[in-house]
Copies of this chain bind each other. A is one copy, B any other.
Amino acid sequence: MNARTPPTTNITLRVDGERLWNSLMELGAIGATPKGGVCRLALSDLDKQGRDLVCAWAVSEGMSVTVDQIGNVFMRRSGRNNALAPVVTGSHIDTQPTGGKFDGNYGVLAGLEVIRTLNQHQIETEAPIEVAVWTNEEGSRFVPVMMGSGVFCGAFSLEHAYAATDTAGLNVRDELARIGYIGEQQCGDHPIGAYYEAHIEQGPVLENADIVIGVVPAVLGLTWYDCTVTGFESHAGPTPMEIRKDALQVATYIMQEVVAIALRYPPYGRGTVGMVQVMPNSRNVIPGQVKFSIDLRNVSPELLVSMNRDLENFLAKMRSDTGLGIELQRVSDFPPCPFHPACVSNVRAAAELLGYPTMDVVSGAGHDAIYAARLAPAGMIFVPCKDGVSHNEIEDAKPEHLEAGANVLLHAILASAVRV
């Protein structure tokens, strides 16, 4: 990592917030929904339209465009020394079925706005700069999520991604070819010197604290479980309280413990029960079985392991106290992802340079930056979104916050790519 360039040379350099906002609105019109959101599923005709628009903007800025085998798009602005690995920024432009205009799109267009600003001010950098559009981050139409960056970093194979099908039975390879975004470059055969991603927070922390810039030290790791409590189904009328084996009652204590565990691991512990299935789910029948999800998150592997151990211990106690069957099945694991100290420091320094108030905000959700961080030093910049709502048509963000985030991105990139 290169040291940040001296503040004095950059103090006045700022992006054009209105130009950024207009580009967000123009891209947001492709797949716009009546409620003000966007439905632009990965590898759909609308995704192609969005990609075409963004690539056209890049070309008009003199950038070269490369597409790899999984459809990731890299839009490149040359540096003075093109033998250096590029400083990459970006995100995705596919959306949830009822998604918003900012999730992902902001990261791509903030990157493009950085390039436009550099071009406008005829600023050269030592390393080349690239803006990436990663394929299918949302995973709504095809799983796994974060598909483009996942294949790129080798988290799973190209063949695995190609074989994924949507509910209509269409697969990723055919759909990539159909929309003309199946490139020739081998995935991952593309060096990265450093990676930055600007994103709306998708949570309420910045808004609640009235802070403009979130410096993201890490993405929380998570463990997902299915927990099944098995009691004995019986009639709510004739069965006295003292001989019941009520699976739901036992489940409620576990559900509360999930939250209690998270509270014992502040500030980044999270515990959520989001999905519950009661059997037979009848008003006058004592539940015989209850199945529910458990989502535990924290910032370090050690803390997450400790939270998981607490859960196991509690379940062992509940089994012995109640005599009911309690099964815990691990569904998924995602390790915590700390970002690189140099990138985190560059983001913080850029915000300070620009006079924006900052706070550290861990990312609770996954982003392409997690996979990029496996290959190169990486960092993220968060800006507030209204009520912390995302993955929703009512997702919203303020132009001045989006502009501030793009300014921070600009100066973080300049710190890594080195203004000359």
Contacts and interface: CB of A to CB of B under 8 A. Distances in A.
A286 interface: yes
A237 B276 contact: no
Nearest to A240: B205
Contacts of A287: 273-274
Contacts of A363: 237-238
A295 B270 contact: no
B205 A238 contact: yes
Interface in A262-302: 262-263, 266-267, 269-276, 278, 281-287, 293, 295, 297
Contacts of A282: 274-275
Given A248-B276, A249-B255, A249-B259, A238 B365 contact: yes
A241 interface: yes
Contacts of A297: 236-237
A248 B275 CA distance: 10
Interface string A200-225: 01111100100000000000101010
Contacts of A220: 237
B249 A283 contact: no
Interface in A388-405: 388-391
Nearest to A222: B237
A322 interface: no
A119 interface: no
Interface in A90-124: none
Count copies of this chain in the complex. 2
Nearest to A265: B241
A235 interface: yes
A306 interface: no
A284 B59 CA distance: 39
A364 interface: yes
Nearest to A278: B276
A83 interface: no
Given A259-B246, A259-B249, A276-B248, A238 B283 contact: no
B224 A283 contact: yes
A185 interface: no
A247 to B, nearest CB: 11
Given A252-B255, A252-B256, A255-B252, A238 B274 contact: no
A192 to B, nearest CB: 25
A248 B255 contact: yes
Interface of A: 201-205, 208, 220, 222, 224, 234-241, 243, 246, 248-249, 252-253, 255-256, 259, 262-263, 266-267, 269-276, 278, 281-287, 293, 295, 297, 363-366, 388-391
16 contacts: A204-B243, A205-B243, A208-B243, A220-B237, A236-B364, A238-B363, A241-B262, A241-B269, A241-B271, A272-B284, A272-B286, A274-B284, A274-B285, A275-B278, A276-B278, A276-B281
